Amino acid sequence: MTVWLGDFWSTYSALIFTVGVNGLLALSIWLTLACGLLSLANAAFMGIGAYVAALLTLKLGWPYEAALTTGALAPAAVALAIGAPTLRLSGVYLAMATLAFGEVTRVIVLNLDITGGPEGLNGIPLATEWWHIAAILAVVVYGLARLRRSHVGRAFEAIKEDEVAARLMGIDVDRHKLFAFVLGAVIAGLAGGLNAHYTFFISPQEYGFENAVDILTMAVLGGISSLIGPLVGATLLTLLPELLRFLHDYRGAVNGVILVLVVLFLPTGIWDPKRIRAWWKQDFSPIPLSMKGGDGGSPPGGGSMLKAAPDSGAEVGIRGALLRATAAGRLCKDGSGTPFVQRAVTMLAISNVGKSFGGLRVLEDVSFDVPAGNIFGLIGPNGAGKTTVFNIVTGLLQPSSGTISFQGRDLAGTAPHFITRLGIARTFQNIRIFKQMTLLENVMIGMHHLIDYGPLALFFATPACRNAERRARERALELLSWLKLEQQANMLADNLSYGDQRKLEFARALATEPKLLLLDEPVAGMNSAEKTVLMDEIRNIRNRGYGVFVIEHDMRFVMGLCDRIAVLNFGRIIAEGSPDEIRNNPDVIEAYLGKEGAP
């Protein structure tokens, strides 16, 4: 038995090692794919790791572990250096740029003396033991599994689905992408170092375009909707050529056929958790929500922030901790329902803002103030530039002239995610929820910047980390149950009706704990009962001291709701005042209301 095992091991150990290393590589590209980035740089990162680690042990006699670590850090440094400019590219352009980077790396290695040129490096110490690979693979899988379930993992998914919406939920998209890219480089570098120290020999040929494509293929073949997928893909593609030896020269063709068939018939890869579950016929029922205490009845604790119910001061403990830093949190402790902030205080000041696209002037000399504790309406005919105002306020567009300040702070050049963190949240005219995420996750994305724990806390699942996640989950459920969406909390947002999608977007915006809420046509597509409910809720939000800034077409809604209204026509403000003043303003009637046949 032991003899047999010994034979088996001596024949197949290299193959088994390779399965592990390829597993690491597939996981390294999974990270970038999880953010929706197609980066083909990982073969080059592996090569950098392999050469650095091998040179350190071979030429400088470094201990293996130190060389391996340095081999992981070197590609990370490179990734950090090229990441910022490269990751601005999207889709195919990113793939091409990373491909070009890979070629540069390969050709440089091919032509340097220290790397042995095309002959490669020979005589690398055989230092890698099976348990090195097993331990590193285990740590990586565990770490990535933790990451997936954290706010970072949710942010990745949000970025993958809708980068703009993710930015406006307070997610620093560039940093998250860079993090995925660099962490992927670390894992690929580790794989390279491990690989170099059991193959004895490395050459530039092993880190070229084909290898980059192989790594991608493993991940996609296995499926990227879970961490098991890339491992399955790596195992399959490593073992298959061995199993198909009898096909000689044609065996490569089988790889190709399998790849094509999987792409055609198993779109989510071989290992798709949903399909596997269906196979096992396990009914995956949602987590019972009653245990959260919501249960359709009176919302617990923090829900009170949103409903001006008299009992609102009762339970603020859970959320109080979460919200301690925000004005909203302080307001909610007041509990009386009366605004804390003085009404006349200006929240958002827009002064002389102009915006042109090319030669087209969309906004001209627009000025108005949105006061705290007020509902401010911006109306105007289609194409008047209303949504452009929102895009400028939220930092998606920079004004061509003029200034915007929020609570006295000039917003010029402030990144969208930072503006969200300052306390401005918005909804979109054409709903932009994250359709492939559950309702709960959607709302939790809104809390991204309020959840704060470090990578170590995440990895070791410290109480701080677990509590933060639990609080966020509870808070998200409160928001959902306030909007009567709690029954669907674990459903994919894609399955929601139109009106419910609007509500979800509303909940998500509130989850960012805004001081000023921008609503872009919030009642579009809602029936009158829903409109009435929403109107009440918006008033409640106002009464809590928030500023609310609404763009709307529905005149009855606007006139009934807003404290102040500005009218935008052809990029200019033509009137501003109370609903009554606007109703009777001849310019407005001519430009807008006249056409509507109102009042």
> Binding of another protein at residue 251 (CB under 8 A)?
yes
Residues 13 to 52 in contact with another protein, rule: CB under 8 A? 38
For residues 125 and 57, is the Cβ–Cβ distance under 8 A? yes
Tell me the closest approach of the beta carbon of residue 127 to another protein, in angstroms.
30
Q: Which of 16, 89, 145, 535 binds another protein (CB under 8 A)?
A: 89
**Tell me, what amino acid is at 360?**
L
Tell me the closest approach of the beta carbon of residue 432 to another protein, in angstroms.
13
Q: Which of 96, 278, 321, 412 binds another protein (CB under 8 A)?
A: 96
Q: Which of 27, 31, 79, 99 binds another protein (CB under 8 A)?
A: 99
Q: Which of 1, 3, 10, 249 binds another protein (CB under 8 A)?
A: 249
Q: How many CB atoms lie within 10 A of CB 146?
A: 17
> Binding of another protein at residue 245 (CB under 8 A)?
no
Q: Which of 17, 101, 181, 546 binds another protein (CB under 8 A)?
A: 101
Binding piece for another protein, criterion CB under 8 A, among 251-259, 277-285, 314-322, 559-567: 251-259
For residues 513 and 328, is the Cβ–Cβ distance under 8 A? yes
What tokens were used for 463? Answer: 């109480």
Binding piece for another protein, criterion CB under 8 A, among 15-23, 92-100, 293-301, 327-335: 92-100
Q: Which of 1, 5, 92, 360 binds another protein (CB under 8 A)?
A: 92
Tell me the closest approach of the beta carbon of residue 353 to another protein, in angstroms.
27
Q: 43, 69, 110: which is closest to 197 by C-alpha? A: 69
Tell me the closest approach of the beta carbon of residue 492 to another protein, in angstroms.
17
Rg over CA atoms, the chain: 28
CB-based contacts of 587, cutoff 8 Å, min separation 6: 567, 574, 575
> Binding of another protein at residue 93 (CB under 8 A)?
yes
Binding piece for another protein, criterion CB under 8 A, among 98-106, 225-233, 502-510, 569-577: 98-106
Q: 590, 598, 597, 565: which is closest to 580 by C-alpha? A: 565
Q: Which of 4, 131, 246, 250 binds another protein (CB under 8 A)?
A: 250
Tell me the closest approach of the beta carbon of residue 98 to another protein, in angstroms.
9
Tell me the closest approach of the beta carbon of residue 263 to another protein, in angstroms.
4
- CA 18, CA 130: separation in Å to the nearest integer? 10
Binding piece for another protein, criterion CB under 8 A, among 89-97, 280-288, 324-332, 423-431: 89-97
Residues 267 to 296 in contact with another protein, rule: CB under 8 A? 267
In three-state form (DSSP H/G/I as H, E/B as E, the rest C), the secondary structure along 348-379 is EEEEEEEEEECCEEEEEEEEEEEECCCEEEEE
State which residue, 117 or 320, has the beta carbon closest to another protein.
117
- Site size for another protein (CB under 8 A): 41
Binding piece for another protein, criterion CB under 8 A, among 120-128, 213-221, 304-312, 426-434: 213-221
Site string for another protein, 161-200 (x = CB under 8 A): ----------------------------------------
Tell me the closest approach of the beta carbon of residue 430 to another protein, in angstroms.
13
CB-based contacts of 252, cutoff 8 Å, min separation 6: 241
State which residue, 132 or 167, has the beta carbon closest to another protein.
167
Q: Which of 16, 110, 492, 524 binds another protein (CB under 8 A)?
A: 110
Distances in Å between the Cα of 146 and the Cα atoms of 153, 179, 371, 516 are 8, 15, 43, 34
> Binding of another protein at residue 494 (CB under 8 A)?
no
Cα maximum dimension of the chain: 99
- CA 201, CA 525: separation in Å to the nearest integer? 65
Tell me the closest approach of the beta carbon of residue 16 to another protein, in angstroms.
24
State which residue, 94 or 392, has the beta carbon closest to another protein.
94
Binding piece for another protein, criterion CB under 8 A, among 108-116, 178-186, 278-286, 368-376: 108-116
Integer distance in angstroms from the first to the last C-alpha of the chain? 94
- What is the DSSP code (8-state) at residue 288? P
- CA 123, CA 81: separation in Å to the nearest integer? 31
For residues 146 and 461, is the Cβ–Cβ distance under 8 A? yes
Q: How many CB atoms lie within 10 A of CB 397?
A: 18
- CA 450, CA 45: separation in Å to the nearest integer? 34
Backbone CA torsion sign across 212, 216, 217, 219:
positive
Tell me the closest approach of the beta carbon of residue 107 to another protein, in angstroms.
4
> Binding of another protein at residue 259 (CB under 8 A)?
yes
State which residue, 107 or 139, has the beta carbon closest to another protein.
107
Q: Which of 74, 95, 191, 443 binds another protein (CB under 8 A)?
A: 95
> Binding of another protein at residue 111 (CB under 8 A)?
yes
Angle between helices 251-265 and 228-243 (to 10 degrees): 150
> Binding of another protein at residue 81 (CB under 8 A)?
no
State which residue, 309 or 396, has the beta carbon closest to another protein.
396
249-258 long-range contacts (CB < 8 A, ≥24 apart) are 258/221
Residues 215 to 244 in contact with another protein, rule: CB under 8 A? 216-217, 220
> Binding of another protein at residue 257 (CB under 8 A)?
yes
- CA 103, CA 302: separation in Å to the nearest integer? 55
**Could you tell me where the beta strands, DSSP code E, fall in 91-245?**
121-122, 201-202
Characterise 573 by phi-psi region: left (phi > 0), alpha (psi -120 to 50), beta (else): beta
Q: What is the four-CA torsion angle of 581, 583, 587, 590, rounded to 10 degrees?
A: 180
Query: Which residues are at the interface with another protein (CB under 8 A)?
Result: 38, 85-86, 88-89, 91-93, 95-97, 99-101, 103-104, 107-108, 110-111, 209-210, 213, 216-217, 220, 248-253, 255-260, 263-264, 267
